[in-house]
Amino acid sequence: MIKFGTSGWRDIIAEGFTYQGVRIVSQAIVDLLEAEGCSGNKQIIIGYDTRFMSEDFAKASAEIFAGNGFEVHYSIEDVPTPTIAYEIIRSGACGGINITASHNPYRYSGIKFSPAWGGPALPETTKEIESNCLKIEKDLSVIKRIHFADAVKDGIIKKKDFKEDYLKRIEELINIKAIKESGIRVAVDVMNGAGRGYLDTILQYHGVPTLALNTNRDPFFRGHHPEPSAECLGDAIEFVKEDNADLAVATDGDADRFGIIDKDGSYITANEIVAVLLYHLVKHRGYSGIAARSVMTSSFIDAVAEEYGIELRETPVGFKFIGDILVKENLLIGGEESGGLTIKDHVPEKDGVLACLLVIEMVAMFGKSIKAIIKELEDKVGKFYNDRANYRLRPDVMERVKRTLASNPPQQFGDFKVNKIITLDGYKFIFDNKAWLGIRLSGTEPVIRCYAETKSQEALEALLKAGDELINSI
C-alpha cells in the first residue's frame, strides 16, 4: 500500500518504488486537484534529483499529468526541492512534483507533492491522495497517459530551466555585498545532489573564494547517505582544516537541508544554527514576527525568542506545519533540528541553499567564527546540551514501542521525574530545569529517534542512557 510520510511517498527502487507506483500516485494527485478545482493554472511543475532513474520516473509522472490535460513544465536538469516550490508560486501553477528521497540512502526514491501554496502537502491532502491510490489500484484502467515524446512534440510537456528565476530570488534575500567585502573563504559540499550549480554558482559568480566539492552526479553518493551530517561531511571537514577556510556549508540530496562546518572543522548542529540565525536576523536586519520550530527541536531557539520578545510556535515534525505558518502569518524564521529552515518573504518550504548562504552572511557580518557567535549568544540566554540517538528496528518492534508508549507512558527516566507529556508528534517528556526527552517514530524510515536536551553534559548523558534502556526493554 502506498503511504505518505512526513515528506511524501518513499520506498526502495524496484521493490516498492516502481513505474506503476509513480503512475498511480500521479493519477491520484490529478484526481485530487480536479476534485478541488485546481486552485492555480492547470499547470504542474515536475522535477527530479540525482538518484537512479530519477528523470525517468519524472517522465512517467509527466505522462500522466499530460494525459489528464495538464500543461507540464518539466525540468531540464536535476533540481532542488525549494526551487520547485518557488517555481510553483512564481508561475501560479496548481502544484509541483519532485522525484526525490531527499537524504535517504541511495536505494530509495520518492515523490514529494507540493500544492499551489508551495509548501509540502499537509496531512489532510496526503490522506486524500492515499485514498485515491487505493481506488486506482482496483481499476488501473482509469489512469490516463500520453507518451512523453508525443506530449513534448504537441507542446503539452514543456522542458524548462527553473534555476535562473530561483537564483535571482535567493540573491534578493542575501546580503551578497557583505559577503564579498568580508574576504570570506568557503567550501561548498553539494553531496552529489541537486544543489550542484546553485549554492556554488551564486558564490563563484560574485567572486567569493569558493571550493565546490562533490559536484558530479553519483547515484551512490560515494557510499554515504546524501545527508549533511558530521558522519557524511568528511571531505568538507578535511578541506576546512587543511586549507584554512572560514567555514564549509553543505546541502543534502535535494538541497532542502543544510549542514555547517566551522573554521576549526567542528560540525555545528542545526539546533545551534537556527538559534544563531534568529539572533543574526534580529540583530542585523531588525526582523520581527513569529519564530517556529518543530517539537523535537532545541529550546535554545525559545530562549533567543524570549530574549528579544519574539513569539515562539511549536509544531509537529514536518516542515509543512512551519510552511503553513509562513503562508498565514508573519513568520520571521522557521527551523527543524533535522536541518530544515526558511525565513520571511521566502517559500513555505525548507531551503538548504538559502540556509547556507544566511550562515555565510552571518559569519561575514559578525566577523567571527560560528562558535564565537554561539558563545556570544549563550552568554545572553544560557547554554543547552542536546543530542539524538537513532534506533533501526524491525516493524513489529516499532509497533510494540508505539503501543507501549500510548498505553503506559513512563513517568520516570532514571532520576528524571516526568512533569508533563507533550503528544503533539511522538512523545515529549518534560522534566525540571528545562530538560526534556522525546521519542518519535520516523515518518520516512523504519527508525525510532530518541531526542534529549538538558542544561549540562552530565545530565544529557544520563537522560539518553535512560531513554536507551526504555527502548531496549520494550
Burial of 173 (0-12, 13-18, 19+ CB in 10 A): middle
* C-alpha cell of residue 95: 502544484
Domain with residue 445: its CATH number is 3.30.310.50
Amino acid identity at 26: S
**Which segments of 323-435 are extended strands (E)?**
331-336, 340-343, 385-392, 412-413, 416-417, 420-422, 427-430
Establish if 149 belongs to a structural domain.
yes
Same domain, 404 and 436: yes
Shared domain check, 36 and 92: yes
- Residues 6 or more apart whose Cβ sits within 8 Å of residue 4: 121, 126, 127, 129, 130
326 near 319, Cβ under 8 Å?
no
What pLDDT score does 444 carry? Answer: 65
Domain that holds residue 443: 385-473
The answer to the question of residue 176 being in a domain is no
Per DSSP, 293 falls in state E
pLDDT at 244: 86
Choose one of 337, 354, 381: the last residue of a domain. 381
Q: What angle do CA 458, 233, 318 make, to 5 degrees?
A: 70
Burial of 91 (0-12, 13-18, 19+ CB in 10 A): middle
Q: DSSP string of 71-138? A: EEEEESS---HHHHHHHHHHHTBSEEEEE--TTS-TTEEEEEEEETTSSPPPHHHHHHHHHHHHHHHH
Q: Are 425 and 457 in the same domain?
A: yes
For the chain, report the end-to-end CA distance as a whole number of angstroms.
27
Q: How many domains does the structure of the chain reveal?
A: 3
Give the pLDDT score at 446: 80
Q: What is the pLDDT of residues 193-241, one digit of tens each?
A: 999 999 999 999 999 999 999 999 999 999 988 999 999 999 999 999 9
What's the confidence (pLDDT) of residue 445?
Answer: 72
How confident is the model at residue 268, as a pLDDT? 98
Is residue 358 located within the same domain as residue 390? no
pLDDT of residue 40: 61
Same domain (yes/no): 230, 374? yes
pLDDT at 41: 76
Same-domain pairing of 143 and 224:
no
Domain-ending residue, one of 335, 352, 381 = 381
Q: Decide which of 381, 410, 430 is a domain's last residue.
A: 381
- pTM of whole model > 0.85? yes
Does residue 178 fall inside a structural domain?
A: no
pLDDT value at residue 37:
81
pLDDT tens per residue, range 69-92: 999 999 999 999 999 999 999 999
pLDDT along the chain (474 residues), means of 10: 86 96 98 84 95 98 97 98 98 96 94 95 94 97 98 98 97 97 96 96 95 96 93 93 93 97 97 98 97 98 98 94 96 96 97 98 98 98 96 89 93 95 96 96 83 97 95 88
Q: Would 457 be classed as within a structural domain?
A: yes
Q: Residue 390, class by beta-carbon neighbours within 10 Å (0-12 exposed, 13-18 middle, 19+ buried)? A: exposed
Residue 175 counted as domain residue: no
- Domain presence at residue 434: yes
- Looking at the structure, tell me whether residues 215 and 345 fall in a common domain: yes
399 and 368 within one domain: no
Q: Given this model, what pLDDT does residue 39 score?
A: 57
Residue 372 and residue 393 in one domain: no
CB atoms within 10 A of CB 20: 12
Query: Are residues 369 and 434 located together in one domain of the fold?
Result: no
Q: What is the CATH number of the domain that holds 352?
A: 3.40.120.10
Asked if 268 contacts 370 with a C-beta cutoff of 8 angstroms, the reply is yes
Whether residues 16 and 96 share a domain: the answer is yes
Q: Is residue 167 part of a domain?
A: no
Same domain, 217 and 97: no
* pLDDT at 153 (0 to 100): 98
Instruction: Determine, yes or no, domain membership for 171.
Output: no
